Amino acid sequence: MEVISLQSGSNGNCFFVQSGEVSLLFDAGISGNVAENRLREKGRNIRSVRGLLISHDHRDHTQSIGIFQRKFGFPVYLTEPTLQAVHRWCKLGRVPDIRHFKAGESIQFEHVTVHTIPTPHDGVDGVAFVIEDGQRRLGILTDLGHAFSGLREVLESLDAVIIESNYDEAMLEHGPYPPHLKRRIKGPSGHLSNLEAAQLIQPAASRLQWACLCHLSQENNHPRVALQTHREILGSDLPLYISGRYEATDILRLD
């Protein structure tokens, strides 16, 4: 299995996963041209993608759904409530191939199974994803709300994970956001802090091949700060990567 984070943050999210001949995209928060060019730079063709799966309705995950579908032709998978929520703020245009799943269901793409996990994030009907191909299991765990029941067990079943590490607690507390926004981020429907993400990973660290930290806040976090917090909790053995706000990661492989 090969994984590329094409971008992650409040300015747009998109992840590419390939196993054998099956390649998938998760979320459509960046432009079609950016996604196509960043994949081409890694030697991958976006037109080979079998499907686009959407985690929830927020703009940084959905703003290019229509463009992706019309430009590249692959089907879009999302829940009915998510689609209805997107329609309330965005004119998607013509999207002729939309396929619905229910949160908690699994979707099959030949030998690849995508499990959807309901999340308490403040999006509409949000899900996280676990992708398995018969040999390895990858988690794409972002916009989680909080460390909800069962999340730790999911992590302990994975071989690699992309996980949100959104904010540093001190930077958020002393940063520029108004109080109501700080409460939203720290609340049960918001995001995980660096410390919370590291504590979730810790029991699974000996099994994981690597972890990639995503959805870092521009105002309330920094890659160096996030890595330092995770290293303090996890030590130096587990390979850690950062999913950038403005560039793709290298190809991350699961052996």
| Structure confidence by residue, pLDDT tens digits, 12-42 | 999 999 999 999 999 999 999 999 999 999 9
- Name the percent of the chain lying above pLDDT 70: 100
Confidence of residue 88 (pLDDT cuts 50, 70, 90): confident
Digit-coded pLDDT (tens) for 147-156? 999 999 999 9
Q: Name the CATH superfamily, with its identifier, for domain 2-253.
A: Ribonuclease Z/Hydroxyacylglutathione hydrolase-like (3.60.15.10)
Contact (CB, 8 A) for 16 and 3: yes
Over range 80-89, report the average pLDDT. 92
d(CA 211, CA 207): 11
**pLDDT at 205 > cutoff 90:** yes
Over range 209-220, report the average pLDDT. 98
End-to-end CA distance of the chain: 7
Per-domain residue ranges for the chain? Answer: 2-253
**pLDDT at 43 > cutoff 90:** yes
**pLDDT at 118 > cutoff 90:** yes
Q: Output the pLDDT for position 90.
A: 80
DSSP string, the chain: -EEEEEE-STT--EEEEEETTEEEEE---S-HHHHHHHHHHTT--GGG--EEE---S-HHHHTTHHHHHHHH---EEE-HHHHHHHHHH--------EEE--TT-EEEETTEEEEEEE--SSSSS-EEEEEE-SS-EEEEE-S-BS--TTHHHHHHT-SEEEEE--B-HHHHHTSSS-HHHHHHHHSTTB--BHHHHHHHHGGGTTT-SEEEEE---TTT--HHHHHHHHHHHH-SSS-EEE--SSSPPPPEE--
Would you state the structure tokens that stand for residue 27, as one six-digit string? 């979320």
Q: Output the pLDDT for position 89.
A: 80
**pLDDT at 51 > cutoff 90:** yes
Would you state the structure tokens that stand for residue 240, as one six-digit string? 């850690």
Q: Output the pLDDT for position 182.
A: 97
Q: Output the pLDDT for position 83.
A: 95
Contact (CB, 8 A) for 56 and 123: yes
